[in-house]
Amino acid sequence: MVLYSKLSSEQLHAKFEEIKQLYDEFKDKGLDLNMARGKPSPAQLDMSMDIFDSVNALNGYSAEDGTDCRNYGNLTGLEECKTIFAQALGVQNDNIIVCGNSSLNIMFDYISQCMTHGTGNGNKPWMLQGNIKFACPVPGYDRHFSILEYFGIEMINIPMLETGPDIDVLEEVVMDPSVKGMFCVPKYSNPQGYTFSDETVKRIAALKPAANDFRIIWDNAYFVHDIYEDGDTLLNIFPEAAKRGTEDMIIEVASTSKVSFPGAGVAVVSASENNVRMFKQRMNAQIIGHDKINQLRHARVLKDANGLREYMKRHAVILKPKFDIVLQTLERDLGECGIATWTKPKGGYFVSLDVMEGCAKRVVELCRRAGVVLTNAGATYPYGKDPKDTNIRIAPSFPSLDELRQAMVILCLAVKLAALEKLIDEE
């Protein structure tokens, strides 16, 4: 192997023919492989089946405080369910509200709340403040961008570094009073798998935005989702924020979507006393209570933060070989070509791959034609626009090991083919 940039014109064309032939062989196989979304595999879901039987006629339906979880009542969630998250996130039970099945829904609803009611400290609703903006670490999570786009909130790209969002840039961007917040995934970021450094967390907690209704949506989606034993540690932002009096700036969410069942798990918000008060006030009008039975199912099986972490080790056993395949194939097939870089996360659900400039869309298209579905190129940027067209998100969790092996070989061929097309085109 050699760096593609060092190849002569003749070598480029020869290499192109070679790779094209290999690619075409796969294309003719009519494969149907999917690395598009961070979905747990059936084997992971099978692990959690005991959750379904933990609440029924045989095992009972009463919470520890005697609540009949089948009936109305209890606005903020069962204490035993709060405890699991409070322990794992390093906060108090009173800072936790257990909601429905979706942390995305909590985030959407929080933005909606800010639009119509503001942030609760005397500021006007965002809806009545004209054009407002959010800082968006990029590449980032497409569904965060979708929420902002739905509410017509302008998005400003902030580059992601290995240590988290580029804080120097962020500190400058928040000096604009129309910048009202930021979504981020602080641990095992989507798509890179980066974990914010202690310094980044501290400087985020110390932000002094011009807008005093600035809010950070701390989407801790992968809070216990280590894959390798030397997993990352995220500094708890709340004590850092408390030191600086910025607790109200942080809205943290987490869920069991990738612990138990996507769609049939429980999601929580963790927030300051002031924010919890505002959530409760809203919830009094919004809902009589979330699904306590499902909270109880989870509490009975997961028990506490230690139980949760033990549970996650079983997921890691299933996920590690998949991440190994992704990282080893990338290294083997692309390691010496100089046409791509990628992240090497210790947890989470994604690997972020950067291909040659202007090639990401082409790679995704080539994969699609060979039967491998990837997340759309551009999806990791606001408005679906990757300015350099380089980023591709790899989601290894759902396919089987065999499928993943094939899909990764095809992906690497596509990366090469797109690069060769570009290099030949530029001759």
Q: For residues 166 and 291, which CB has a smaller minimum distance to its own copies in the complex?
A: 291
Give residues 380-419 in contact with its own copies (rule: CB under 8 A): none
Does 31 bind its own copies (CB under 8 A)? Our answer is no
Given candidates 1, 3, 21, 70, which one binds its own copies under the rule CB under 8 A?
70
Does 251 bind its own copies (CB under 8 A)? Our answer is no
**DSSP codes of every residue in 131-189:** S-EEEEEES--HHHHHHHHHTT-EEEEEEEETTEE-HHHHHHHTTSTTEEEEEE--SS-
Does 149 bind its own copies (CB under 8 A)? Our answer is yes
Does 120 bind its own copies (CB under 8 A)? Our answer is no
Does 112 bind its own copies (CB under 8 A)? Our answer is yes
CA distances from 78 to 65, 262, 297, 353 (A): 9, 20, 11, 41
Q: Which residues pair with 392 in a beta bridge?
A: 353
Given candidates 140, 262, 348, 382, which one binds its own copies under the rule CB under 8 A?
262
Given candidates 15, 203, 215, 290, which one binds its own copies under the rule CB under 8 A?
290
10 Å CB burial of residue 344 (0-12, 13-18, 19+) is middle
Q: Which of 90, 180, 164 is nearest to 127 (CA)?
A: 180
Site stretch for its own copies (CB under 8 A), options 17-25, 217-225, 233-241, 278-286: 278-286
Cα 264 from Cα 269, distance rounded (Å): 17
Tokens of 308: 């949760």
Q: For residues 44 and 406, which CB has a smaller minimum distance to its own copies in the complex?
A: 44
Site stretch for its own copies (CB under 8 A), options 110-118, 170-178, 224-232, 402-410: 110-118
Q: For residues 99 and 170, which CB has a smaller minimum distance to its own copies in the complex?
A: 99
Nearest approach in angstroms of CB 41 to its own copies is: 9
Given candidates 30, 122, 130, 263, which one binds its own copies under the rule CB under 8 A?
263
Given candidates 90, 120, 177, 289, which one binds its own copies under the rule CB under 8 A?
289
End-to-end CA distance of the chain: 21
Cα 4 from Cα 349, distance rounded (Å): 30
Sign of CA dihedral 151, 157, 160, 163: negative
Q: What is the dihedral of CA 63, 66, 72, 78, to 10 degrees?
A: -40
Give residues 41-60 in contact with its own copies (rule: CB under 8 A): 42, 45, 48-49, 52-53, 55-57
Does 40 bind its own copies (CB under 8 A)? Our answer is yes
**CB of 358 within 8 A of CB of 388?**
yes
Binding residues for its own copies, per CB under 8 A?
A: 37, 39-40, 42, 45, 48-49, 52-53, 55-57, 68-73, 100-102, 104-105, 108-109, 112, 115-116, 125, 127-128, 143, 146-147, 149-151, 261-264, 282, 284-294
